[in-house]
Amino acid sequence: MESRLNGGRPADSQAPGGAVVALRDVTKVYRDGNVRAVSGVSLEVPEQGFLSVTGPSGCGKSTLLNLLGGLDTPTSGGVFFRGQSLATHKDLDRLRSRTIGFVFQTFHLLPNLTARENVQLPMFGDGRRDAEREAQAAALLARVGLADREDHLPGALSIGQRQRVAIARALANQPALLLADEPTGSLDSESGTTVMDLLGHLHADLGMAMVVVTHDPAVAERAERTVRMLDGRIVSDTAGCP
Ligand SMILES: Nc1ncnc2c1ncn2[C@@H]1O[C@H](COP(=O)(O)OP(=O)(O)O)[C@@H](O)[C@H]1O
Ligand SMILES: [Mg+2]
């Protein structure tokens, strides 16, 4: 199944060593409160790389992740996806929905849709037939260990299972980049470990680039590089765990 989930991924056609996404001297100021959330940050996320981002609450981690994923725009500086500036990108919505997967601390599942329907949400509009989308969603749920929970509503799942559904949904379009903002932040330590093991295995099997924001040193341990932030700046960028 790995090869199927991985099939035709654009990342495969990229030269190794290139950046999937890069920030160049990026600053983000929120007018509301005049907060400089990210200040003069440059960062490259290599194709198929695995970065963790750590730092105290309020230091700009979520803002950084949203800038990397094109969910937010910089006040100054540039964000480049495979070398192309997002500021001049013609179809940012499509880039986001087809190439980038997002995982949030609080899952963001639709409560009235089953697990399988939630996973299919990003696939709509891609011209695939219903049966194909359903089969792909079922394969993804099996991949995250929820083959027997396809027809459950989120409310009937444990919180750890909800996060695994959200991860399956983030993988729906075989993203080249998976961005996760404190994915274990709402979970107990056991389901947090399950989710992080899963993310580690998915990275190894599918080879998408991954950036995981976390407070949890056990999470950072699994990454190839750890970026530490303080007051909107990157204060260290080290191989492995700090
Ligand atoms: N939408 C917003 N409007 C105004 N200020 C914000 C907004 N989002 C974040 N901030 C502020 O920007 C700073 C960085 O926030 P954030 O990126 O959420 O940090 P972290 O994820 O590390 O906790 C904080 O001071 C926060 O209060
Ligand atoms: Mg945050």
To test ligand 1's pocket by mutation, which of 29, 31, 35 has the most ligand atoms within 8 angstroms of CB? 35
The minimum-distance atom of ligand 1 relative to the CA of 56 is 22
Quick one: which ligand is closest to 57's CA? 1
Q: Residue range 182-197: average pLDDT?
A: 93
Query: Looking at 28-37, 148-157, 171-180, 217-226, which range is the least confident one?
Result: 217-226
Which domains does the chain possess? 2-18+48-57+89-239 (3.40.50.300)
**DSSP character string of 155-182:** GGS-HHHHHHHHHHHHTTT--SEEEEES
CB 116, CB 138: distance < 8 Å = yes
Q: Residue range 155-183: average pLDDT?
A: 96
The whole-number pLDDT of residue 241 equals: 56
Which residue has the least CA distance to atom 2 on ligand 1?
Answer: 30
To test ligand 1's pocket by mutation, which of 29, 62, 63 has the most ligand atoms within 8 angstroms of CB? 63
The whole-number pLDDT of residue 17 equals: 53
User: Which H/E stretch holds residue 200?
Assistant: helix 189-206
Q: Give residues whose Cβ lies within 5 Å of ion ligand 2.
A: 61-62
